[in-house]
Structure 1
């Protein structure tokens, strides 16, 4: 075990199997004390595995959709280890169907687990992290949310919502050294069974994703980064804004826009906004720069 995270306390939700288990083991391997969360006894089994390897961990059964259970999880972490430094929001489910065939209850269920589950767990530790001037939070997004995926409208909506949550919490936490990032994994797990070819099993392992997790929870971690990870490869995604055009002085602005969408979409010189305020500021600057 390395000591890079020695003295740090981490919570990983949905860590009884798959990616969450790999995350918990990787954090422990680097010296973190880990609170392993899941719905049932699997959480304790992973905690026992960590302890057997010489690490420190406790299992904590709890439903991320219930805020009281997430508060209890945070309290258990404090009772066992005295602080919470890292939260990895990993818990998730799939309910894949085309939008036309999807019951609204299944849409809500996926949003409840992914979005409200992450909100509940984060809310349970947020004030503590702010008061200690240290926190590292990871939201689990997905390329399904970033780029779309047929048959996953509920999952994609949830995963893109987490990007917006990360962006705002990253801004709000900056002054108190609470850094918030997103991880978009590609791995063969129970959730992705049947979605990737058989040969992917040897390459797209959860462990190869979890290696990237360290960069998002380390002392020197960035904030508001969307890290893509799979098979030992790592990429970064950005929500960008093109420079666009200004056509307010056209005789028929709406018609002019329809005819110039190729210019609106042109990616040369595109921007990476620092916050949502960059859009109106960019547009105002262009409007004021027009000769009058």
Structure 2
């Protein structure tokens, strides 16, 4: 019973995290397939501890910043952002585009830090803390390319393909099309996408690997408007991106922490 209750609380938190403006009680109960009274009890507990608030006017329930604060505090204490920030800053300055760090929190890939290199004109930016779309981003393709095809396909299908209106015109629509991009990424040594995640954007990404296991534990990416981040620009930046990923791969404190995030779930698969 305790495990079931905990699962319901976590499902509730994850649901609200996906709806920044909150949800009404009935919608929460229906989505989680629990009685309205049960949903209300869970929400009342979370409200009491100030993890959830209820909007007075609409009656909607939404997460407070307390969860975000905990996450940021955890990342700060882990040292991940501090270690990677100087590398991100250098990539952003060299490219004049957005540089980001994603970490593997198996079976998810999450963006946790960034540096913006664009000082004027068009700027591409992204939300930190959001789960990476595996099938359409360079970040996602880089990670999938580090895995066996069967595992890569399983992770991609678990997340699902984005609907056409939510991604770029070149986004893969089928598993064979995605695996073809994964194969291209392996052959190239880093990921490159053009208008797959969003129209008018391009990106490239290289994996951070654990020095002991060789398993990808995160990656670095550069993203920007496709009119600036051209193939010629990509080719000039690739050595710098790969070198930066190699630098972070060699940092013991970073690799040990990131390996721990992905290692627990991997053990469960075996």
- Do Structure 1 and Structure 2 share a fold, with TM-score over 0.5? no
Based on CA coordinates, which of the two structures has the bigger radius of gyration?
A: 1
Query: TM-score, normalised to structure 1's length?
Result: 0.24
Query: TM-score, normalised to structure 2's length?
Result: 0.25
**Bigger relative CO (Cα 8 Å, ≥ 6 apart):** 2
